[in-house]
Structure 1
Amino acid sequence: MTKLLETLGGKLAERWLTLLFVPSVVLLAVAATGATLGHGHWYDLRLLFEKLNRLAAEPALRSTGTLILGLAGVLAASAALGLAATGLGAAVERVWLADRPRWAANRRRRRWDEAHAEFTRALVAAARAEGTPEEARAAARARELNARRNRIALVAPTRPQWLGDRIAAIDGRLWEAYRLDLASAWPRLWLTLPEDVRAEIGAARARLAAATRLVAWAAGYLAVGAVWWPAAVAGLVTAATAWRRARVAGVAFAELTESAVDLHGRRLAESLGIPCDGVLTPDVGTEITHLLRKGT
């Protein structure tokens, strides 16, 4: 038990150092630099070094007690910033995945409906052009419109944000394919998944959470930008990076989750005592859903 606690403590310390402490210290350093230089001398590194040298020459800073108090203050400030970043990142994730405001979701739905109708018309035109000289061009047009529709959402949108729709599409696609209610099936399926599969899904989920935390750090740099504009530039770059990473991580998480059902849904059925010969079918999925919903 002692070795287990030591191992867990080491891992927690390592994660805190990597995910929270280092970004906090960097943000504190940028804030101190911005407060020292301001907008008027934003580029004057000589002024910064002069003030650092004067500060280092202070007799009080040569005291061991002062250094310890300073280090404790930095640790306390970095811990507070880390907790704030974690909380703000969780709030950002809830906003990205939320189903409100409805007017924004409805606007995305109208765009998707228009793209879907255009794709349907192109698909009919491609079918009519089969065997004619226009076949290749009509098929290419249909593929182009299909990709355009899928860039909006894979299924009819229900969320105001693209990321929320991409995650929500898992449930809709699995229901259409297997009549499987993912909300009730997922906890049971998770228990049947191999360890390496769970690790992959967990890693993708962690990358999504890290991307939302990065938005919180971007907000910190933007706040420092009020007194030192280069920090605002860094904040904008960080926000753009976070947005891109969130989309990549969200797609990876969604695809891995859907793949887990595709590849291991049969194991779930057999674990529940439901016969499943070959691939998962809508009939088997309906039985799983009825059983796990307890008939409701």
Structure 2
Amino acid sequence: MNAFLTELGKNLAGRWAAALALPAAVFVAVAVVAVMLGPSHALDVTLLWVRASTVSTGPALVWAAAGFLAATALVGLAMTALGGVVIAAWGATGTGPGRPFTALRQRRWQRAGAKADTAVKAVLADQENRRAKVTARRAVLRRDAISELEPNCPTWAGDRLRAVADRVRRGTGLDLTTTWPRLWLVLPDAARAEVTTVQERCASAARTPVWGLAYLVVGVYWWPALVPGLWLLLVSRRRIRRSVGVYADLVEASVDLHGRDVANQLGFELTGRLTPEIGAQVTEVLQKRPTALRTP
């Protein structure tokens, strides 16, 4: 999981100019309008026009434009850093500051899991009961919506990526964190481009709640900014789940289709599928652990 979180962090830092120029400019414009109007004249368009006219000509316009561009750049850099913090939080474990959130998610998952187990047992007891099957399916979906595995991270995104690593390890024997950098080198250009595109979506989704909080801060002084702030916070959860879910599926698909290429590059020369036994050997080679530390 750390490997593809690192890739997301690199992507977030390397492409901020194109991705953040417009939203940063809009945010700075909203902040400027908030300062010009203040809370007592929040929607006074006439007053805004009058005050904006005072800097629309001469040297004042040049200084205003320079200040606007500088502020836009600073906001973009700040959002890059804060978006990276959000991505880092996805990979946090259930220790330290994230422990209460992880414990809460574990309790929710266990309750949902108990209901799912009860519903599945009801189906096994009566195979012809269609209503019981529907109930069981919904109960399983509710549990998996919290996490596919018992939660070990304070966020859904972290556990979603952890579930991919677990499936890859069980299905192929590969350690995904160790294998991913090598797999990236053997992926075709089309596959790399697709992964990079989804990484950009994940980075953008990670910034969404940060933008929402930033607008709420402005909204404390100028209430119209509360509207985009609340909207961004509401859509951030769905955006993060959708983008991280697609990214996790794409990572798993990359292993399924090209994991054997990594083994072949290491000299295993496979002619069939990559089995867990061979995958475990590939992982041992990649990890380069001393003999004394190898698992029997």
TM-score range, shorter chain: 0.7 to 0.9
Distance 1:17 1:87, change over 3 A: closer
Moved over 4 A (4+): none
SS in 2 for 1:279: coil
Q: What whole-Å deviation, never above 9, does each CA across 1:163-209 have from its counterpart, x for those lacking one?
A: 22112211112122222211111111111111111111111111111
State which drifts further: 146-155 or 21-30.
Answer: 21-30
1:42-81 equivalences under 5 Å are 42-56=42-56, 61-63=57-59, 66-81=60-75
Map residues 1-296 of structure 1 onto 2, 5 A cutoff.
Answer: 18-56=18-56, 61-63=57-59, 66-100=60-94, 101-130=98-127, 133-134=128-129, 136-295=130-289, 296=294
Count how many residue pairs are aligned between Structure 1 and Structure 2.
Answer: 273
**How far apart, in 2, do the equivalents of 1:95 and 1:87 lie?**
13
TM-score, length-scaled by structure 1: 0.84
Distance in 2 of aligned mates of 1:18 and 1:189: 28
Structure 1 position 148, deviation (Å): 1.5
Alpha-carbon spacing, 1:123–1:217, altered in 2? closer, same or farther (3 Å): closer
1:155–1:44 Cα change, 3 Å? same
Please state how far the C-alpha of 1:127 moved relative to its aligned partner: 2.8
Deviation at 1:43, TM superposition (A): 1.7
1:126 counterpart SS class = helix
Partner secondary structure for residue 221 of structure 2: coil
Larger RCO (alpha carbons 8 Å, 6+ apart) = 2
SS of alignment partner, residue 40 of structure 1: helix
Q: What amino acid is the match of 2:38?
A: G
TM-score by length of 2: 0.84
Measured against aligned partners, the alpha-carbon deviations of 1:113-164 in whole angstroms (never above 9, x if no partner) come to 333343334333323323xx43x33333322222121111112211111122
User: Structure 2: 5+ residue runs without aligned partners?
Assistant: 1-14
Structure 1 regions of 5+ residues with no counterpart?
1-14
Q: How big is the alpha-carbon RMSD for the aligned residues of Structure 1 and Structure 2?
A: 2.1
Query: What percent of counterpart residues are identical?
Result: 39
Query: Does the 8 A contact of 1:276 with 1:284 survive in 2?
Result: no
Q: Which has the larger radius of gyration?
A: 1
**Match for 1:209: what amino acid?**
A
Larger CA deviation: 20-29 vs 160-169 = 20-29
Contact 2:16 2:80 in 1 (8 A): no
Deviation at 1:16, TM superposition (A): 5.7
Using a 3 Å threshold, how does the CA distance of structure 1 residues 70 and 110 change in structure 2: closer, same or farther? closer
Aligned-pair CA distance for 1:277: 4.1
